[in-house]
Amino acid sequence: MKKVKIYGTLGPSCRDPEVLGQMLEAGMDGIRLNLSHATLAESAGLIEALHSAADASGVKPELLIDMQGPELRIGALNQPMFLADGALLGIDEIPFPNAVWEALQSLPTGQEILLDDGKLLLKTVRLSSASGLQLRVERGGVLEGRKSVALPGSHIQTAALTEQDRAQIHQAKEYGVTAVMQPFVRSREDLQELRCALDEAGCRQLRLLAKVENRAGIAALPELIPCCDEIVIARGDLGSAVELWELPAVQKQIARTCREAGRDFMVVTQMLDSMIHRPVPTRAELSDVFNAVLDGAASVMVTGETAVGEYPVAVIRYLANTVRRAEAFI
């Protein structure tokens, strides 16, 4: 079998070339840059640190850029908001994108609103005809700016690529990008649009990874497989699109379909989530990584664990060692 690849995510916790070098030595094959939070130009310091670490280590890590795509996110916040359970908010108190704000005006009361990959849950309510639409906090916590927003059961049509996405693609070569991750893929047309954009920018050689993270992507999986280089089982938003207890079965189904088609797939999201604040993972997390390899994953990726977590090097060490042990077991 092919060696399973190990990916981290760039962020403040690994902006030091020395830290990145230690991550590469621990087994990291490549790293993701989330362009929903910053552009390539704004991330130039992080990218330069990666290239410096690579030169010092004598390795050539992959650099994956995760596009904005059709994903919906709230706007920027001056400071994080604490949303208390049971609190009532005006609809204007959270900077929703226009598409979400307009959808909420026509959707029935009781519509669920999931924020930050489902960590926070709101519902629309109308206390009286004069009060207008309000939001009740069903599952509270701290909300930061630019976090994802989803309306389960509703359909909001948005373009596959934003203008900023297209601008980033044209700069990809300059920054040493090796692959593009397209979020919230809904159909082969989304991937064809991205392929055309890559061709126009002279970036035909970049690998294309299709993120399956909604019901449309699940349904379209057979037509997505021939149009990409790798399928990404993106369990964050996918866990908001289906009931959480259904997510393991959905993951297994996607993995099986990819295996049968001979298409590589990646497993990502909360693989070692406890290590954002702890120096060791849970036993369940390591079992999750191990089982992903047994299911045939070509790659695994951590996100916040290395981007903002306290132990980025240890995260990669545990991830890589668990993957290697699973390979030996197979």
Encode pLDDT of 215-254 as tens digits: 999 999 999 999 999 999 999 989 988 999 999 999 999 9
Q: What residues form DSSP beta bridges with 141? A: 83
Tens digit of each residue's pLDDT (9 = 90 or more) over 243-283: 999 999 999 999 999 999 999 999 999 999 999 999 999 99
Domains of the chain by start residue, with CATH: 5-70+159-329 (3.20.20.60), 81-150 (2.40.33.10)
151 confidence band (pLDDT: 50, 70, 90): confident
Q: Report the pLDDT value the prediction gives residue 130, as an integer from 0 to 100.
A: 62
Tens digit of each residue's pLDDT (9 = 90 or more) over 66-82: 998 877 889 889 999 99
Q: Report the pLDDT value the prediction gives residue 153, as an integer from 0 to 100.
A: 79
Tens digit of each residue's pLDDT (9 = 90 or more) over 38-55: 999 999 999 999 999 999
Dist CA 269 CA 285 (whole Å): 11
pLDDT score of 98 more than 90: no
Q: What is the DSSP string of 281-328?
A: --HHHHHHHHHHHHTT-SEEE-SHHHHT-S-HHHHHHHHHHHHHHHHH
131 confidence band (pLDDT: 50, 70, 90): low
DSSP structural state of residue 183: -
Catalytic residue selected from 73, 186, 235, 263 = 73
Tens digit of each residue's pLDDT (9 = 90 or more) over 16-35: 999 999 999 999 999 999 99
**Averaged confidence pLDDT in the chain:** 94
Residue of 120, 159, 122 lying closest to 143 (CA atoms): 120
Which range among 26-30, 130-134, 201-205 shows the weakest confidence by mean pLDDT?
130-134
Catalytic residue selected from 9, 124, 269, 322 = 269
129 confidence band (pLDDT: 50, 70, 90): low
Q: Are 263 and 233 in contact (CB under 8 A)?
A: no
Sign of the CA dihedral 139, 157, 69, 74? negative
Dist CA 241 CA 224 (whole Å): 18
> Is 263 a residue of the active site?
no
Q: Report the pLDDT value the prediction gives residue 73, as an integer from 0 to 100.
A: 84
**130, two tokens:** 């004069």
* Residue type, position 151, single letter: L
> Is 2 a residue of the active site?
no
pLDDT score of 103 more than 90: no
Q: Are strands 62-66 and 179-182 parallel, antiparallel or unpaired?
A: parallel
Residue of 88, 5, 1, 2 lying closest to 299 (CA atoms): 5
Q: Report the pLDDT value the prediction gives residue 155, as an integer from 0 to 100.
A: 75
Residue of 70, 74, 137, 65 lying closest to 101 (CA atoms): 74
192 confidence band (pLDDT: 50, 70, 90): very high
118 confidence band (pLDDT: 50, 70, 90): confident
Is the model more confident about 129 or about 144? 144
> Is 119 a residue of the active site?
no
Residue 330, Cβ density class (10 Å: 0-12 exposed, 13-18 middle, ≥19 buried): exposed
* Residue type, position 116, single letter: D
Residue that is written with structure tokens 């001056």 in the block: 78
Strand, coil or helix: 63: strand
Q: What is the distance, to the nearest Å, from the Cα of residue 232 to the centroid of all Cα atoms in its chain?
A: 9
Q: Are strands 134-139 and 120-125 parallel, antiparallel or unpaired?
A: antiparallel
CA of 181: how far to CAs of 145, 186, 191, 228, 245, in Å? Answer: 22, 14, 10, 10, 26
Which contiguous run of DSSP H or E holds residue 64?
A: strand 62-66
Catalytic residue selected from 32, 188, 195, 235 = 32
Tens digit of each residue's pLDDT (9 = 90 or more) over 79-91: 999 999 999 998 8
Catalytic residue selected from 188, 195, 211, 235 = 211
Dist CA 118 CA 135 (whole Å): 16
Q: Report the pLDDT value the prediction gives residue 150, as an integer from 0 to 100.
A: 85
Residue 99, Cβ density class (10 Å: 0-12 exposed, 13-18 middle, ≥19 buried): middle
> Is 147 a residue of the active site?
no
